[in-house]
Structure 1
């Protein structure tokens, strides 16, 4: 598990908690997109390694988030992320590895929401990736593309609900917001560390 560390980040929510999270993690967001390389052409082998990286990360991360959230917010710890990745790996005949992930430390609801910001936000990009999978590799949600398809047409509504939850829980509480931004940045760093071990050719580039 990655130790807690401080990242440069806004500590005031004057412009909104979501704006602070976005500004505080912009650099890491760009780095993970470049490393995953799913915005352009990619092949089956690369896609399989990406899925395996997500599975190793999510299998442990989901438990950390669930343990850190209070009962009233546990609905956000639900979802079926790791299960969907496992199904995709099975459909593609690939191993579902359980070791090799780096995980961020997550303690308390503010840090859990900050970490969730990373994965909930990635679901929006997953809608674009889902179309790439269909067009480039012929992979549909039922044939190995369930994870990135996610909630499908309901993804936008889920994101709006999450944004409302974040603002209600964090806006106006600078200490909690700073914890959330730090946790989001550490989650990005953990994902980067996890994928750098699997996507050697991208990491080297």
Structure 2
């Protein structure tokens, strides 16, 4: 049983998504071995969706998407074990090398605190993590409001680690310049397509 520093117990049994690539099949499917040095932040999309509904959708038989974790204030569910590759990023590299966290789009203070506590625990287990945004892997508006919160989330993870005395790992790194360029190019392409459609 995993208990985060918020006191939330991670639900590891209610949902078991069948939508993932097993660790030993990752090299053949995604062209590289499974690794866990990155976290990809997502949001559920539109406001007003329920935690259970999101977990059920990502765990549906025959689905084409999933995530490792779904998070809101007071609730965290593990749908796919991090050793396996969830189908969350829209990118072979993103799926093979990152842990996908689906976050409540309304982004309350409690939601952020839970995301921070989950990342802090993941760093304790898997070591330092780079924090990526879904839109840096593929052309999407995801992770919505969380896109502007990465630096604050990283700061809060570091504070939580510093007060615990349990981790001396370096701060999670923000993405490298190439990832930023990829995201900017995706936005430019989307804008160009919109403009062409209006002509």
Structure-1-length-normalised TM-score: 0.29
Higher relative contact order (Cα pairs below 8 Å, separated by 6+ residues): 1
TM-score, structure 2 normalization: 0.29
Question: Where is the helix percentage greater, Structure 1 or Structure 2?
Answer: 1
